[in-house]
Amino acid sequence: MGQAVRGLLVRDAEARDEDFILALNAACTPAVGDMTREKYQLLVGWSYRVMIAEAHGAPVGFVILVRPGSAYPSDNYGWFEQTFARHLYVDRIAVSDQARGTGAGRALYEEALRLAAELGEERVTAEVNEDPPNPESMAFHAKMGFRHLVSRMSGAGKVVAMLERPL
């Protein structure tokens, strides 16, 4: 059912994962935007896939992916939509503190890159906070081959680095 990457299982999220996703998202704020249960349920409807990284049968991270043409009203997603015709957008990715450094984030991104290629997209896109700063995420994205396109003020009042990883 799932894709095994670097000893971790990456699988599609299920209804039973919702509480985990919301709790981890809250624990990772402000590195990721806040998200109520209602906002998450709407986001799932706009998304292409929500995926979970599991280690030893327990969820340790998630990623939310959005394809071009979605009705998702995010201004960051909208910027990528205006800039690129073919991209797979990472709305957010989060990994639990206990799983940092285990390859869970890399496994989620490797699956996103695989899916983007399978779909015929030309790149994976994401943004990372510059203010408030998130140097760990910036370093991680650089290691994954992302390049900085521009810095911009998001609708949420944060300065974000708009990033792309060409396939």
In this predicted model, which residue has the larger pLDDT, 34 or 160? 160
* pTM for this prediction: 0.93
DSSP bridge partners of 66: 89
Q: Which domain holds residue 12?
A: 3-166
Q: How far is residue 54's CA from residue 89's CA, in Å, rounded to a whole number?
A: 22
Q: Contact, 109 vs 167, CB < 8 A?
A: no
Rounded alpha-carbon distances, angstroms, from residue 104 to 20, 115, 143, 158: 15, 17, 14, 26
Q: What CATH number did the domain enclosing 109 receive?
A: 3.40.630.30
pLDDT tens figures, 102-119? 899 999 999 999 999 999
Q: Contact, 24 vs 61, CB < 8 A?
A: yes
In the chain, the number of structural domains is 1
Q: In this prediction, what percent of the chain has a pLDDT beyond 90? A: 84
pLDDT at 3 over 70: no
pLDDT at 6 over 60: no
